[in-house]
């Protein structure tokens, strides 16, 4: 809301409060004053009854309207800015809610102004520019308070039975407070225990008995007319109040006791206890899923970044260019052009499609074939190196995370090829329906101390395992076997089709 709109709202509310105060003065003081002049006794010419009437009613009416206006000012100038802060937690919001709650409960704020304050609170909560998770308690309490006020306002306008009004004004707020306490304090304290629900249920049972006794005591104090809640602040007929004092002023004492005790206890055990427990479980599950999703995204970004760092590095490009240069010296340019084209396709794939979350399996297989073909160019002149590939051609719509298979092939060429010793690599890729079967079998050779690849670990198999666990949980099977001379991996991967 803009500042100009806020100013207009402020002056409108101020005007209405002043007008309401004037009308209350006229209705509660001036009219009775005029009608009693002829009947009032005089002492030394002073109208005793009339001045007594003014003293008894003017101050309470003024106090009531001041409290109403102060509550609005707190909502307008404190609650709204605090909840709209982009950073940091809101401060001192709950005391404002408690002030409104207590003023309604005692009868200082009548039902009309209570409904307007509730709508103002809802407007603040629903129209905020920022949703700071650190203010979740303040926001949830505000929604519950507004719902409670609107419920008792509807009970007044519909003129429901007094016992229902008493339930709404006494039992419902108690249930709301215990719900917040259970959700924020009680359940977290026992949730990690072995018998967590039993411990939680026993505490709620004890709390239900304790609060029921307190409500019975509150009803008795209200009926006795003693203390602050007896209406001495100034609740008069026509002020449309739903105070406890006004509700229990009849003679249905047993009925009120039943509502305050049994109604409260049953509400806590039947509704609040399971609802708070299920709400906490759902929020915990949602929070866990958010953490898993966050770890997944971080893992994907980290894995992709590490892969790009390991693949696009000067050493890899230097070897590839040296291979093409040697080929150009030994043979015709046709083979060299083929190698350059494959290298260009690989670089284009790494720089463009590798940034996608999922790509068509056909594109990843093309990259795999280009990589194998380029490595065959490098080893073509070595008779002791045997490379076998059986990669099924595929033209379907299955999707796969880019560069998920190439690390196994890179690892095979890195550790399975030796220009001085017999070496072999066998790569097999098959697709059956939506399942991919991938096998890599290669010899093992220890790099010499002067080989620059000796200290280059690439992304490593650990990184591949991480990506698989994050991106394909319960959708893959990875088997790795190794002995002194050979290395073998088998990957089964369940894929999904492009929608």
Tens-digit pLDDT profile for residues 84-115: 877 667 788 899 999 998 888 887 888 888 89
The model's pTM is 0.55
User: Kind and range of the H or E element at 245?
Assistant: helix 244-247
* For the ranges 43-57, 318-332, 378-392, 432-446, the one whose mean pLDDT is highest: 432-446
The dihedral formed by the CA atoms of 389, 395, 398 and 403, expressed in degrees to the nearest 10: 40
User: Which of 167-176, 250-259, 290-299 is least confident?
Assistant: 250-259
Contact 13, 77 (CB under 8 A): no
Contact 222, 244 (CB under 8 A): yes
**pLDDT at residue number 207:** 92
* For the ranges 42-51, 357-366, 458-467, the one whose mean pLDDT is highest: 357-366
How far is the C-alpha of 376 from the C-alpha of 135, rounded, in Å? 61
**pLDDT at residue number 356:** 72
DSSP SS3 for 49: helix
How far is the C-alpha of 429 from the C-alpha of 436, rounded, in Å? 7
**pLDDT at residue number 226:** 43
Count Cβ neighbours within 10 Å for each residue of 415-444 and write b for 16 or more, e otherwise: bbbbeeeebbbbbebebeeeebebbbbbbe
CB contact set of 367 (below 8 Å; sequence gap of 6+): 345, 346, 349, 402, 403, 406
The dihedral formed by the CA atoms of 157, 160, 165 and 166, expressed in degrees to the nearest 10: 150
How far is the C-alpha of 258 from the C-alpha of 85, rounded, in Å? 45
**pLDDT at residue number 241:** 59
DSSP SS3 for 437: strand
Residue position matching structure tokens 């001192």:
92
Taking each helix axis from N to C end, the angle separating 172-181 and 196-224, rounded to the nearest 10 degrees, works out to 150
Q: Which two tokens stand for residue 234?
A: 């100034």
How far is the C-alpha of 116 from the C-alpha of 76, rounded, in Å? 13
Range 66-75 average pLDDT: 91
**Phi-psi domain of 478 (left: phi exceeds 0; alpha: psi -120 through 50; beta: other):** beta
Range 264-281 average pLDDT: 91
Query: Of all residues in the chain, what percent carry a pLDDT higher than 90?
Result: 19
**pLDDT at residue number 303:** 62
Confidence of residue 227 (pLDDT cuts 50, 70, 90): very low
**pLDDT at residue number 461:** 75
Which is more confidently placed, 390 or 161?
390
Range 75-82 average pLDDT: 88
Range 125-136 average pLDDT: 72
Contact 96, 71 (CB under 8 A): yes
How far is the C-alpha of 165 from the C-alpha of 488, rounded, in Å? 75
CB contact set of 32 (below 8 Å; sequence gap of 6+): 53
Which is more confidently placed, 6 or 268?
268
User: Which of 136-140, 171-175, 262-266, 343-347 is least confident?
Assistant: 343-347
Range 477-490 average pLDDT: 90
Residue 300 confidence (pLDDT) above 60: yes
Alpha helix stretches (DSSP H) within 75-135: 80-83, 94-106, 111-126
CB contact set of 107 (below 8 Å; sequence gap of 6+): 231, 233, 235, 239, 241, 242, 243, 244, 245, 246
Query: Of all residues in the chain, what percent carry a pLDDT higher than 70?
Result: 70
Predicted confidence (pLDDT) per residue in 392-420, tens digit:
888 888 999 887 888 898 888 888 888 77
**pLDDT at residue number 1:** 43
Burial of 190 (0-12, 13-18, 19+ CB in 10 A): middle
User: Which of 118-122, 305-309, 379-383, 483-487 is least confident?
Assistant: 305-309
Domains of the chain (ranges; CATH) run: 3-293 (no CATH), 312-497 (3.30.565.10)
Predicted confidence (pLDDT) per residue in 32-64, tens digit:
545 444 444 444 444 444 445 555 667 778 888
Burial of 272 (0-12, 13-18, 19+ CB in 10 A): buried
**pLDDT at residue number 177:** 92
Q: Nearest-CA neighbor of 24 among 100, 115, 153, 110?
A: 110
Q: Which two tokens stand for residue 180?
A: 């917040």
DSSP assignment of 185-233 equals IIHHHHTTSTTHHHHHHHHHHHHHHHHHHHHHHHHHHHHHT-SGGGSTT
* For the ranges 151-160, 168-177, 297-306, the one whose mean pLDDT is highest: 168-177
Phi, psi of 497 (to 5 degrees): -90, 155
Confidence of residue 176 (pLDDT cuts 50, 70, 90): very high
Contact 267, 437 (CB under 8 A): no
**pLDDT at residue number 231:** 40
Round the average pLDDT of the chain to a whole number and report it.
77
How far is the C-alpha of 113 from the C-alpha of 119, rounded, in Å? 10
């Amino acid at each position: 809301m803009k500042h100009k709109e806020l100013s207009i709202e402020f002056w409108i509310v101020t005007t209405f409060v002043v007008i309401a105060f004037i009308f209350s003065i006229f209705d509660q003081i001036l009219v009775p004053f005029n009608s009693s002049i002829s009947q009032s006794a005089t002492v030394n010419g002073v109208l005793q009854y009339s001045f007594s009437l003014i003293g008894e009613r003017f101050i309470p009416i003024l106090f009531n309207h001041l409290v109403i206006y102060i509550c609005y000012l707190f909502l307008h100038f404190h609650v709204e800015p605090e909840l709209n802060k982009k950073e940091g937690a809101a401060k001192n919001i709950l005391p404002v809610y408690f002030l409104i709650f207590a003023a309604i409960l005692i009868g200082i704020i009548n039902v009309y102004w209570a409904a307007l304050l509730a709508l103002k609170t809802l407007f603040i909560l629903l129209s905020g520019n920022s949703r700071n998770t650190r203010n979740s308690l303040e926001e949830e309490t505000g929604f519950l308070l507004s719902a409670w006020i609107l419920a008792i306002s509807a009970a007044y306008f519909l003129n429901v039975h007094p016992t229902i009004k008493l339930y709404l004004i006494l039992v419902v707020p108690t249930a709301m407070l215990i719900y917040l306490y259970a959700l924020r304090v009680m359940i977290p304290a026992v949730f990690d225990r072995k018998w967590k629900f039993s411990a939680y249920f026993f505490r709620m049972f004890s709390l239900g008995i304790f609060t029921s006794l307190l409500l019975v005591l509150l009803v008795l104090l209200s009926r006795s007319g003693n203390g602050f809640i007896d209406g001495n602040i100034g609740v008069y007929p026509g002020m449309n109040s739903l105070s406890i004092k006004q509700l229990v002023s009849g003679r249905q004492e047993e009925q009120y006791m039943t509502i305050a005790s049994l109604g409260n206890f049953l509400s806590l055990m039947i509704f609040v206890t399971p609802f708070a427990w299920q709400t906490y479980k759902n929020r915990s599950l949602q929070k866990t899923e958010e953490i898993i999703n966050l770890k997944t995204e971080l893992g994907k970004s980290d894995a992709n970044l590490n892969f790009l760092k390991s693949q696009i590095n000067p050493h890899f490009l230097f070897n590839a260019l040296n291979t093409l240069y040697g080929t150009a010296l030994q043979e015709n340019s046709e083979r060299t052009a083929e190698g350059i084209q494959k290298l260009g396709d690989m670089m284009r794939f790494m720089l463009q499609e590798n940034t996608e979350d999922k790509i068509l399996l056909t594109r990843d297989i093309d990259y795999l074939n280009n990589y194998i073909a380029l490595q065959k160019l490098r080893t073509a002149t070595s008779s002791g190196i045997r490379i076998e590939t059986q990669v099924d051609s595929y033209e379907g719509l299955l999707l796969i995370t880019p560069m998920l298979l190439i690390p196994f092939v890179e690892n095979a060429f890195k550790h399975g090829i030796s220009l001085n010793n017999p070496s072999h690599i066998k790569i097999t890729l098959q697709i059956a329906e939506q399942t991919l079967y991938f096998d890599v079998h290669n010899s093992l050779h220890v790099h010499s101390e002067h080989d620059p690849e000796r200290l280059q670990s690439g992304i490593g198999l650990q990184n591949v395992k991480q990506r698989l666990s994050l991106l394909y949980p319960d959708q893959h099977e990875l088997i790795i076997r190794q002995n002194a001379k050979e290395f073998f991996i088998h990957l089964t991967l369940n894929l999904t089709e492009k929608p």
